Amino acid sequence: METYWTSFDTAETPVIQTDILVIGSGAAGLQTAWSLAEAGREVLVVARDELQDSNTAKAQGGIAAALGQDDDPTLHYQDTLVAGAGLTDESMARIVVTEGPDAVLDLLHHGARFDKNPDGTLALGREGCHSRNRIVHANGDSTGAEVSRALRAIAGEEKRIATLEHCYVTDLLVREGRCQGAMALHKGRTVRLAANGVVLATGGVGRLFAHTTNPEGATGSGLALACRAGAELMDMEFVQFHPTALAIPGRPSFLVSEAVRGAGALLYNTRGERFMPGYHPMKELAPRDVVARAIATEMKKCGSDHVWLDATGIEKVEEKFPMIFRTLLDYGVDMGKERIPIAPAAHYMMGGIRTDGWGRTTVKGLYACGEAACTGLQGANRLASNSLLEGLVFGRRAARALCQDIPENRPAEPEGSWKAELAPWTVSSREQAADRQQLQELMSRQLGIARDRDDLEQALETMDGLARKYEGRAAENPDQLDLKAQLLVSRLIARAALQREESRGAHYRLDFPEPRDCWKHHSIEENEGGTIHVQQNVG
């Protein structure tokens, strides 16, 4: 495996120096930066596009936190374990459900405009697999956008936080086992980012699939950076498919929040039959993996490319879900009067860069948090609305670890030099686009909701062939870098999925349809001398 994907010589490259480099501007990245600034640290936040472009900004449902009078962290903890299908790290779950309420209230007190009841208390909704109403939301169904806005406003007022947009980090610089910064393309120009500590908060991998709720930047680039730098990755086989994404040919896979089902929406197949009561006692509010598989089964049974989500029975639906209502109306669907055609779409990566409870990876000086990281909190299937919460909690904790591990606040000295010389990129943009489409269709078809050995082995063979075409070639722009990241991370997912011979949570094997106690553990992937190894029986 290549260590570097671009050609560069740091002796001839402009240098930007900072104390802590945060890569990514979603909830996890901005929370980390905010907490570091409050502790007196100088931070540079870089975003591949603009600061507001992140998975956070797209999140609809809300943030789960035990803030209701009938709720407590223990109940939230138990629900998290149920959703995680036996693979949730219990210590991580306790951290998040215990520290989560304070993180949410801290954001509220610093300007986040969450929805409230007439008496001034927080309005709390309910989503799948939650035993209580505990979903904090904003503008009904625009929670992520509000969290993103509030954090950007806080960061904008912090003199210790600098930001750099349109900055694509290409390679991490590691020497003697310690990360010392990164190389990046800033508006097409190669720059060196020298830092004492680096935080990866780059989001998920939805764009590996043909149908996804994720934005364009969710190509797994941060996971690819970490892997090439020698960091371990964990639970890469667990990719969550959101059950209810808009399914109209020619339209994007727009997410229809789980909160809509929490408010009473029902699922019907194209024969007009309500089907979820036959799959799970919690019906439409069953865990996401259960609902997604049920929908896929009904689509196959009926020979259709969608099922129906009926929200017509929700009173004042246009007020409760204004953004979803307006967007669907633009697509020609009035959710207050007619059923919505939906199908599952790639949504969230439970796996990622392996970290401890403080964001530390297995490479010194390199930290990760949010969807890019994997603490074991999400297990085999994330509980709804635990993602924004995870980003806030572990962003705060990563900042504390950085202050402890790197006590001196000073711009990093660009010590040492790095040089990489790769062959020119020779593949045309048209061929690149075709290869990317082939990869996405392959991932959706053979690494989607249902998998088996033959499909996984065939997929890996095809992916390896595609990857060889680009190996040793110097990427020169974001499209080329994205394709290389997609090829690497897809193979990481496929290898882990092939190894796990059972069905658990979001990982469903047709040839091993039941969970097996011998597989009740995490899987670890690491780069050893350019070869990826999957470890088994890791507790």
Residue 377 lies in a domain: yes
Distance (Å, whole) CA 200 – CA 360: 10
Whether 206 and 256 map to the same domain: the answer is no
Express as a percent the part of the chain with pLDDT over 90.
87
- pLDDT for 147-173, tens place per residue? 999 999 999 999 999 999 999 999 999
| Mean pLDDT (the chain, rounded) | 94
pLDDT at 50: 86
Residue 87 lies in a domain: yes
Whether 182 and 307 map to the same domain: the answer is no
Whether 59 and 36 map to the same domain: the answer is yes
| Residue 529 predicted with pLDDT over 80 | no
- Per the structure, the complete domain to which residue 472 belongs is given by 424-520
- pLDDT for 210-268, tens place per residue? 999 998 899 999 999 999 999 999 999 999 999 999 999 888 888 898 889 989 999 99
Whether 454 and 470 map to the same domain: the answer is yes
Residue 412 lies in a domain: no
Residue 312 lies in a domain: yes
Kindly indicate the confidence band of residue 89, based on its pLDDT and cuts at 50, 70 and 90: very high
CATH of the domain at 322: 3.90.700.10
Distance (Å, whole) CA 419 – CA 196: 20
Whether 380 and 469 map to the same domain: the answer is no
| Residue 53 predicted with pLDDT over 80 | no
- pLDDT for 3-14, tens place per residue? 999 999 999 999
- Going through 418-509 in order, the beta strands assigned E by DSSP cover 419-420
Selected catalytic residue, list 134, 160, 228, 288: 288
Whether 180 and 324 map to the same domain: the answer is no
Question: How far from the centroid of its chain's Cα atoms is residue 512's Cα?
Answer: 27
Kindly indicate the confidence band of residue 367, based on its pLDDT and cuts at 50, 70 and 90: very high
- Going through 187-332 in order, the beta strands assigned E by DSSP cover 189-194, 197-200, 233-234, 239-246, 266-268, 307-310
Beta carbons within 8 Å of 437's beta carbon, 6+ residues apart: 210
Whether 445 and 507 map to the same domain: the answer is yes
Overall number of domains in the chain: 3
Whether 136 and 82 map to the same domain: the answer is yes
Helices (H), 70-182: 73-83, 90-109, 143-157
Residue 528 lies in a domain: no
- pLDDT for 445-486, tens place per residue? 999 999 999 999 999 999 999 999 999 999 999 999 999 999
What stretch of H or E contains 294? helix 288-302
- pLDDT for 384-393, tens place per residue? 899 999 999 9
Whether 341 and 366 map to the same domain: the answer is no
Q: Note if 48 is an active site residue.
A: no
Whether 297 and 379 map to the same domain: the answer is no
